[in-house]
Amino acid sequence: MKKVSYEVKTRLSGTLARTGVIHTPHGDIQTPAFIVVGTKASVKSLTPEQVSSSGAQAVLANGYHLYLQPGHELIEKSGGLGKFMHWQGPTFTDSGGFQVLSLGSGFKKTLSMEIEGVSPDDVIAPRKERQAWVDNDGVTFKSYLDGSMHRFTPEQSIQIQHGIGADICFAFDELTSLMDSYTYQAESMRVRTQPWAERSLHEMQRLRKLHPERPYQAVFGVLQGANYEDLRRETAQWMADREFDGYGIGGAIEKERLGEIVQWCNEILPEDRPKHMLGISEPDDMFAAVEHGVDTFDCVSPTRVGRNGAFYTFEGRKNIRGNMYKEDFTPLLEGCQCYTCQNYTKAYIQHLFRAKELLANTLMSIHNECFIVGLVDQLRASIEDGTFYAFRDDWLARYYQ
């Protein structure tokens, strides 16, 4: 069974930033790489051919959603996630911890990553509204589809992800919110997230032995610890001492502190393993994560904002619904090589939005995915040729002017 492995290619001197390759049974990922989100085994409104022609290298689906619908057993019968959704490249699955826990204390409220101006009452849902309950062995939750009760333990999360068949799986973890106290964060990390990570790893090792004919599936340990340096370093050391194939840096992170939090983790984590940052939303976060040694990250923004009419340009995000585009017969972004910009005008795409034509979502998503993949390609090239900081400063100044 060929393992999932990582090879460093270049390092940016004096930093943790690097380029490299993740080898998986379904192909290589040149890093840093943006991993496209296909939560329910579909990148919303795009065919896999459209996803791959945007330059995307891998897709991340969600164990929780696929467990509820259509069920991991069905995906397993079909030959695994890639085959089921007709995606040829590498795949990731998230454990479902985030989705399950966001039904808990954060249910119907923001699991806010920005605490300014937010009180605990805005974030912590009353007991009766909760849809998930955590104990030291796992999480019990109500299905968002039909209200039926379910339970995830680390073993079950891995059995689900094993059935789905992604190349890279994440250990089951407890997601905490920035509103939780230090004491809660520390207890959650030591009593649940870390033991759950170890149980996730052991369960995958057991399943690998049971099914030696199947391609290797990696387990990435997930680092929690919120904004606390001592907790982040402690969990990084704990994870580094165990046989994870890679790591997921997750949890409650204040945007302004993303870079330093990632740095605390990556200074300790082994260099020869890939590091994934779970759920990034904005380009400045991508620069900060990559500068501090993140190799891959996932982001729903390109398709999500696209469906709301937003498109990326070098001068920031714009909205196609704006009146100034009514008779604008130029592409979304002059010089963009994507299919949308090569063939359609802003006036036409605005018309599609106003007429509620489904093609609007597809055309916007193609452009936005291409834009972000292209940005990460340039990021990678700038690490290789040593121009990372100049590229970052120019790019961000123009985008956030």
Q: Which span (187-195, 227-235, 343-351, 363-371) binds Zn ion, by CB under 5 A?
A: 363-371
Indicate whether 75 belongs to the interface with Zn ion (CB under 5 A).
no
How many of the chain's residues bind Zn ion (CB under 5 A)?
6
Measured distance CA(156)–CA(232) in Å, rounded: 26
**Residues between 249 and 288 with contacts to Zn ion, criterion CB under 5 A:** none
CB of 6 to Zn ion, least distance (A): 31
Which listed residue (94, 167, 285, 295) is catalytic?
A: 94
CB of 332 to Zn ion, least distance (A): 5
Measured distance CA(19)–CA(286) in Å, rounded: 14
Q: Which of 231, 338 has the CB closer to Zn ion?
A: 338
Active site residue 121: no
CB of 320 to Zn ion, least distance (A): 12
- Contact between residue 258 and residue 278 where contact means Cβ atoms under 8 Å apart: no
Q: Which of 60, 341 has the CB closer to Zn ion?
A: 341
Q: Which span (9-17, 86-94, 205-213, 360-368) binds Zn ion, by CB under 5 A?
A: 360-368
Distances (CA, A) of 17 to 142, 318, 383, 389: 41, 30, 7, 11
Phi–psi pair at 141, nearest 5 degrees? -145, 160
DSSP string, 232-295: HHHHHHHHHTTT-SEEEE-S---GGGHHHHHHHHHHHS-TTS-EEES---SHHHHHHHHHTT--
Helix/strand/coil (H, E, C) string of 108-177? Answer: CCCCCCCCCCCCHHHHCCCHHHCCEEEECCEEEEECCCCCCEEEECHHHHHHHHHHHCCCEEECCCCCCC
Q: Which of 190, 318 has the CB closer to Zn ion?
A: 318
Q: Which of 340, 365 has the CB closer to Zn ion?
A: 340
Strand 33-37 with 296-299, pairing: parallel
Residue matched to tokens 């907790």: 231
Which listed residue (121, 298, 328, 393) is catalytic?
A: 298
Contacts of 192 (CB under 8 A, 6+ apart): 134, 136, 173, 174
What is the x/- site pattern for Zn ion, positions 303-342, by CB under 5 A? ------------------------------x--x-x-xx-
Q: Which of 314, 389 has the CB closer to Zn ion?
A: 314
Indicate whether 367 belongs to the interface with Zn ion (CB under 5 A).
yes
CB of 314 to Zn ion, least distance (A): 12
Active site residue 241: no
CB of 359 to Zn ion, least distance (A): 15
Catalytically active residues are 94, 298
Binding site residues, Zn ion, CB under 5 A: 333, 336, 338, 340-341, 367
